[in-house]
A and B are shown apart, each in its own frame.
Chain A
Amino acid sequence: MSEITYKPGHEPHLRETRRIFRNIDRVGYDPSIACFIKDGGYETLKKAIKMEPAAIIDEVKKSGLRGRGGAGFPTGVKWTFIPKGNTKPVYLVCNCDESEPGTFKDRFIVHQDPHQLLEGMIIACYAVQAHYAIIYMREEFPEAAKIVQRALAEAEKNNFLGKNILGSGYDLNIILHRGAGAYICGEETGLINSIEGVRPYPRIKPPFFPAAIGLYGCPTIVNNVESLCQVRQVLMRGGEAYAADGATRSPGTRIIGVSGDVQRPGYYEIISGSITYGDLLYELCGGPKPGRSFKAIIPGGASAKVMRCDEVLKGRNPDGSVRKMTIFDVPMDLDSIAQHGSMSGSGGVIVMDDSRSMPEMLRNLNRFFAWESCGQCTPCREGNPWMLKLSTRICQGKASPEDVDLLKSVADNICGRTVCAFGEACAWPVQAFTTKFREEFLALTRPINAFKPHNPEAAEARKYLTRED
């Protein structure tokens, strides 16, 4: 394979392994099919289309590939949830509604290397025997929509799509469907409703997976952009070889997006579990900004629970004894961080240094969730604006210490009482911020004397309560 040169300033770090992002910011690479084929593209599809669909699913199951959209569900297992003896058409939807704050990996794939996604998607469609598939693209990617549309036409022209693909007798039609700027459309059943042309309210579970009942009432597989690209990697390398790399329970590479207060924010593709959060932030990202130190990390997109950098965590040695560690010693795979009460989600790491006010950060997140709540379930629709009000009041210095507890109790009462995971997504940051940085929240509050009027209206009302004799 020829030597790859990257654009200046975009060279990968030595500890990175670029597979999905191999062609991102590469000199002389463009999103055309000619460029992709010259680079060995669509060879995996040619191989896969000669296999039995069940053999492909087996291969993906063997690889241990887990979904990259945030939940980390095994992709191959998800595919087998299509009911046996199903006679309805099967649909496959590619979730390109990337809108979790802190996550920005799919953007580069669809803008710079769309054929990689198409190849993975065609293989996935063939494996589940879908003849109609949809790429759901978020509205904020108007240029990517044009690029992918062009890529679809090119692929069809080259007989990688359409009727009788590569002489195999298999037909597939992929269309592009654009969203309109709603975060909730990233939830798979909300996304399906959005495609059906109704308000994108998430559907009631069960069924827990749209693989049973999904788009138009038919079995539907929803996979993330990166997951589908990883499917191509699995078929390219073979399931067992893929499973051999990285953490046992979450093999393969992971794309990490780092944002916030580090010297070199950006994307990094690493072998899962090969580095720790400390390696990522100090080595790959160049450490904190001059004169600053790290204070808090949100390890997996805005909805993950925040971690304090000085927090002492309990880790287990191989012999079973307990050792003390910090977030910087936690390996970057899908599960390690979950043992410490947060999640690795979609790989968006948001870093905050000691110059940041945590209540202010939480207020920003509350505003995001209040804005994006779809309004279907009362706890979330009403709770989010309430939490925003409370955190705004705390930031303005007008809150009492009890308001901090109230803020947490509102979050506790949203969590688990909604149709979709948005309830947890909006509650977790509040729970984590108010518990872990409680002193910072309390410092902004002042006790309110119930007998002392605290606004002009109260002072006005009070005059009727005082006796003048």
Chain B
Amino acid sequence: MTEQPDAIAALAETKPSPGEKYYPPFKVTPELTKKAKAYIAMYPKGREQSAVLPLIHLVQEKHGYICPQSVLWIAEMCQSTPIHVQGIVSFYPGIRTSCPGKWHIRVCHTIACALSGGEELLSYVCEKIGIDPKAMTEEEPMAVSADGLWSIEAVECLAACGFGPNLMVNDALYSQMDQAKVDDLIEEYSKKA
């Protein structure tokens, strides 16, 4: 890995998050490199840069977010530059630059879900998991609970508009939510922790 962590660290400030204890810190392992090479091999020769997004997903799934070290690693794997990778990381709403909670909840509040009570759902979920909705700002859309177990984010359209209001917990979608269903859901996930 090239020696330029200071510049990139200043560029990609990561906010410390209580969720970090639930995710292993980023470390380059032979296993990770092997997986990354498999992704890069999917694209035509000379187009390694296409694998930036798949590698970001690879890192984010395991480590929860994209830290400056992983940006350097991805840049090196894809024969790109750290600033280019950082440009992609900062573009997409789905890429996180600070660690989420163990259970990351995304509540849709776009028009169709809003019509079926998405905004109310959002504030109810916030109340249930003990997060102040005001902690979600434009700069930092994700808020993490103090124990690091939960994080919440209001998102735009999850493409299940007919069955709103919708929310996602990590990879799973839950449709037609109401307060009783949220109660059950939170209880179920608390037990899993």
Q: Give the interface of A toward B (CB within 8 A).
A: 89, 98-104, 106-107, 132, 138-143, 175, 177-183, 194-200, 216, 257-261, 265-267, 298, 302, 348, 350, 352, 356, 361, 364-365, 367-368, 371-372, 374
Contact = CB atoms under 8 A, between A and B. Distances in A.
B107 interface: no
Nearest to B53: A180
6 shortest A-B CB distances, which residue pairs? A181-B94, A180-B92, A197-B49, A180-B94, A259-B112, A259-B161
Contacts of A259: 112, 115-116, 161-162, 164
Given A257-B162, A368-B156, A194 B53 contact: yes
B111 A104 contact: no
A216 B47 contact: yes
Interface of B: 42-44, 47, 49-54, 56-57, 78, 80, 84, 87-88, 91-95, 109-112, 114-116, 155-164, 168, 171-173
23 contacts: A99-B159, A101-B111, A104-B161, A107-B159, A143-B172, A177-B53, A181-B155, A183-B157, A196-B50, A197-B51, A198-B84, A198-B88, A216-B47, A260-B111, A260-B116, A261-B115, A265-B161, A267-B162, A348-B161, A356-B115, A361-B111, A364-B111, A368-B111
Given A179-B53, A183-B156, A260 B93 contact: no
Nearest to A182: B92
B188 to A, nearest CB: 18
Given A182-B93, A197-B49, A198-B88, A98 B111 contact: no
Contacts of A177: 50, 53-54
A31 B139 CA distance: 40
A76 B82 CA distance: 42
B87 A199 contact: yes
A421 to B, nearest CB: 17
B110 A364 contact: yes
A197 B111 contact: no
- Most-contacted residue by chain B among A141, A197, A298 (CB, 10 A): A197
A126 B93 CA distance: 35
A260 B44 CA distance: 44
A261 B111 CA distance: 11
B150 to A, nearest CB: 19
A162 to B, nearest CB: 14
B110 A302 contact: yes
Given A179-B53, A196-B49, 10 more contacts: A101-B156, A104-B161, A178-B53, A181-B93, A195-B50, A197-B88, A216-B47, A259-B164, A260-B111, A261-B115
B112 A102 contact: yes
Nearest to A196: B50
Contact of B161 (A138, A196, A350): A350
A104 B156 contact: no
Nearest to A361: B111
A194 B54 CA distance: 11
A198 to B, nearest CB: 7
B162 A104 contact: yes
A54 B78 CA distance: 38
A265 B88 contact: no
Contacts of A98: 159
B64 to A, nearest CB: 14
B114 A371 contact: no
A177 B109 CA distance: 26
A182 B43 CA distance: 22
Contacts of B88: 197-199
Contacts of A368: 110-111, 156-157
A180 B94 CA distance: 5
A422 B168 CA distance: 27
A103 B162 CA distance: 8
B51 to A, nearest CB: 7
A298 B114 CA distance: 15
Contacts of A200: 91
